[in-house]
Amino acid sequence: MTVIIGIDPGLKGAICVHRGPDNIEVFDMPTVSLIVNGKVRNMVDPYQFRDIIINAGPCNMVVLEKLSTRPGESPIAALSYGIGFGQMIGVLVALERPYTTVTPQEWTKVLRVGADKDLHRLVAMQNFPHAADLFKRKKDDGRADAALIAHWARGHE
């Protein structure tokens, strides 16, 4: 059985373990609150991330959406995003999981979903009808992206 893990690496992102069209597990990105310079900041929790990857078992490939900053994004937010992304790569390397990255433009073009997050959720519901409830809320777009990244990767095996 081919196991592919798709990851939308943002704080509101998710992890999708894709074992086949009718067999996916989706996890919201695990986070932890830390006090940085007297302010509470949310960060990716690398320990919970590690546990999700270990519990997924052996996999053929992990695909992470490629890191990029957004116009107008604060330097602190960009740094936090970069630290989390780096921790995820470190966990994957330490666990000897093969990984690659894909730009949002690349996978969305192939799946013909553009940048519309509502369309991402709709397409995820159509591709994974047994798991449609995982994508029904507006805030489930990170889950949809992780599932669609894994779906894109399965088509590029």
What is the pLDDT at residue 74?
78
Would you list the domain boundaries of the chain?
4-154
**Mind listing the pLDDT tens digit for each residue in 101-113?**
999 999 999 999 9
Query: How far apart are alpha carbons 154 and 157 in whole angstroms?
Result: 5
**Mind listing the pLDDT tens digit for each residue in 73-87?**
777 777 888 889 999
* Contact criterion met (CB below 8 Å) for 81 and 27: no
Query: How far apart are alpha carbons 19 and 150 in whole angstroms?
Result: 10
Share of the chain above pLDDT 90, in %: 75
Query: Residue 100: pLDDT band by 50, 70, 90 thresholds?
Result: very high
Query: Residue 55: pLDDT band by 50, 70, 90 thresholds?
Result: very high
**Mind listing the pLDDT tens digit for each residue in 10-40?**
899 999 999 987 899 999 999 999 887 888 8
Say if residue 70's pLDDT is above 80: no
Query: How far apart are alpha carbons 56 and 58 in whole angstroms?
Result: 7
Query: How far apart are alpha carbons 156 and 150 in whole angstroms?
Result: 10
**Mind listing the pLDDT tens digit for each residue in 120-145?**
999 999 999 999 999 999 999 999 99
Q: Which CATH code fits 4-154? A: 3.30.420.10
Query: Residue 91: pLDDT band by 50, 70, 90 thresholds?
Result: very high
Sign of CA dihedral 152, 154, 102, 12: positive
Q: Which residues is 20 bridged to in the sheet? A: 23
- Tokens found for residue 16: 């999708």
DSSP 137: S
In the chain, what is the greatest distance between 2 CA atoms, to the nearest angstrom?
48
What is the pLDDT at residue 157?
62
Question: How many other C-beta atoms can be found within 10 angstroms of the C-beta atom of residue 20?
Answer: 11
What is the pLDDT at residue 17?
98
Considering only residues 17 and 68, tell me which one the structure prediction assigns the higher pLDDT: 17
